[in-house]
Amino acid sequence: MHAQIEDLRQRASADIGGVRDAASLEQFRITYLARKGAIALLFEALKSVPASEKPSVGKALNELRQQVQSLYDARREKLSTAGAAKRHIDTSLPPRRRWVGSQHPLTKTLDEIKSIFIAMGFAVADGPEIEDDYHNFGALNFPPDHPARDTQDTFFLGPTTLLRTHTSPVQIRVMESMPPPIRSIMPGRVYRNEAINARSYCMFHQIEGLCVDRGVTFSELKGTLIAFIKQFYGPNLQYRFRPTFFPFTEPSADIYITCFLCRGKGCRVCKQSGWLEILGCGMVDPNVFRAVGYEPEKYTGYAFGMGIERIALLRYGIDDIRLFFENDVRFLEQF
Ligand code: 2U9
């Protein structure tokens, strides 16, 4: 009997070393400590031990049970603290970074431009991006054979429906809906069927403005746009107006400012000219007034337009227009 007890002690000591998880611990308990386990069987066998040996065998059996129980308890404790260690929260770890959103550079540029014109008394209008040929071209005095109407420049959706190529049709719709005076700006998306590269994209944003009333003059156009330029680009900059042509305005001009990258010396961005074109403008063509039912003898007006991407590219020194539309956080988080 003593030999059996010793044998069991050694087996239990060896087995406990292999216990690595709750399932093998339970198997250990069933093998040795359960009601029908190995130790219980030896206690059963104690009954048939001669009376003279019972005290010493009983004592040895009780010691065995205590030792195996201690092995079991110690291992259970170890396994549960190992599990707790896995769940332990390391308060010395630096916290996870919180992502704080920022405004898109186009939104920032647009908001700044809008707020300057709103402060000067302009209302903000909007209209559909899917337009008809008449509002996008006809009413704006584009002749039927104008090259802008070519499918190479315009996305046509049907024979007379298209994606607007500028925000001017909204100004037509504003004039169709109410009599003068009009003083509104129109920001929005426009589409052109162009090859995509670093400088041009098939979609971009414009902001246009229109002011119509009795006796509106080119001087008012100049005063308003110079006030805008000084607020947006700074008070001490040089600007110049150069005659140009648009179907919807006559006379028409492009406004340039001194290149703020080379200060007028000439660089890659201003194509060595020292000047940057930032705005187009002009007096609304009488034919446009006729199209919306305004009397050209009674009313005059000025209009202007600028491309938001171009302004934002220059302002933030970005060299590829596609970056605005890729939504790469490494780009967006810089604003
Ligand atoms: C109406 C009448 C006239 C809007 C104008 C421009 C000049 C102009 C360009 C700037 C860069 C377009 O984004 S761009 O490619 N625009 O130069 N736009 S005058 O004239 C109007 C608008 C509406 C009824």
> 104 pLDDT exceeds 80?
yes
Pick the last residue of a domain from 58, 88, 118. 88
> 152 pLDDT exceeds 80?
no
- Is residue 96 assigned to a domain? no
Same domain, 262 and 327: yes
208 touches ligand 1 (CB under 6 Å): yes
Q: Ligand 1 center to residue 204 CA distance, Å?
A: 14
Cα–Cα distance, 140 to 285 (Å, whole number): 8
Total number of domains in the chain: 2
Instruction: Identify the bridge partners of residue 203 per DSSP, sorted by sequence position.
Output: 191
- Is residue 215 assigned to a domain? yes
- Is residue 95 assigned to a domain? no
Same domain, 113 and 75: no
pLDDT score for 191:
97
Same domain, 75 and 114: no
Same domain, 81 and 133: no
pLDDT score for 153:
87
Q: Structure tokens of 275? A: 């000047």
The residue among 83, 84, 79 whose CA lies nearest residue 21 is: 79
What's the rounded mean pLDDT across residues 81-97?
78
Same domain, 241 and 316: yes
Same domain, 10 and 59: yes
Looking from the CA of 172 toward its CB, the CA atoms found within 13 Å total 24
**Domain limits at 110?**
105-332
- Is residue 97 assigned to a domain? no
Cα–Cα distance, 299 to 301 (Å, whole number): 7
Identify the residue whose C-alpha is closest to ligand 1 atom 13.
Answer: 307
Same domain, 110 and 84: no
- Is residue 181 assigned to a domain? yes
pLDDT band at 151 (very low <50, low <70, confident <90, very high): low
- Is residue 42 assigned to a domain? yes
Same domain, 64 and 192: no
Pick the last residue of a domain from 19, 53, 88. 88
> 82 pLDDT exceeds 80?
no
Testing ligand 1's pocket by substitution, the residue of 304, 308, 321 carrying the most ligand atoms inside 8 A of its CB is 304
Could you report the per-residue pLDDT of 164-206, keeping only the tens digit for each? Answer: 999 999 999 999 999 999 999 999 999 999 899 998 999 999 9
| Count of all residues that appear for the chain in the document | 335
Same domain, 129 and 181: yes
282 touches ligand 1 (CB under 6 Å): yes
Percent of the chain whose predicted confidence (pLDDT) is above 70: 99
Same domain, 317 and 220: yes
Same domain, 136 and 177: yes
252 in Cβ contact with 244 (< 8 Å): yes
> 270 pLDDT exceeds 80?
yes
